[in-house]
Amino acid sequence: MKLNKVLYILIIFLLGFLSSNLINYYSVYGLENPFPSLNFSGLLNSSKSAPHDFVKENQIQVFDDKLVINIPNASISEYAPTGSMKPTLDEHSNGIRIVPKSENEIHIGDIITFEEDGDLIVHRVIDIGEDSNGKYFITKGDNNPVADGKIRFKDIKYITIGVIW
Question: Do residues 71 and 159 touch, judged by C-beta distance below 8 A?
Answer: no
Q: Are residues 64 and 124 in the same domain?
A: yes
Q: What mean pLDDT is predicted for residues 12-29?
A: 57
Q: Are residues 14 and 94 in the same domain?
A: no
Q: Are residues 61 and 40 in the same domain?
A: no
Whole-angstrom CA distances from 99 to 3, 16, 75 are: 72, 52, 9
What domain count does the chain have?
2
pLDDT tens digits, one per residue of 53-96: 899 999 999 999 999 999 999 999 989 999 999 999 988 899 99
Q: Are residues 13 and 75 in the same domain?
A: no
Q: Classify residue 50: in a domain, yes or no.
A: no
Q: Are residues 24 and 70 in the same domain?
A: no
The structure's pTM equals 0.70
Q: Are residues 123 and 73 in the same domain?
A: yes
Domain CATH code at residue 63: 2.10.109.10
- Distance from CA of residue 67 to its chain's centroid? 27
Q: Are residues 94 and 152 in the same domain?
A: yes
What pLDDT is recorded for position 22? 53
Amino acid present at 74: A
Q: Are strands 111-116 and 156-164 parallel, antiparallel or unpaired?
A: antiparallel
Number of other CB atoms surrounding residue 59 within 10 Å: 12
Mean pLDDT of the chain: 83
Q: Classify residue 51: in a domain, yes or no.
A: no
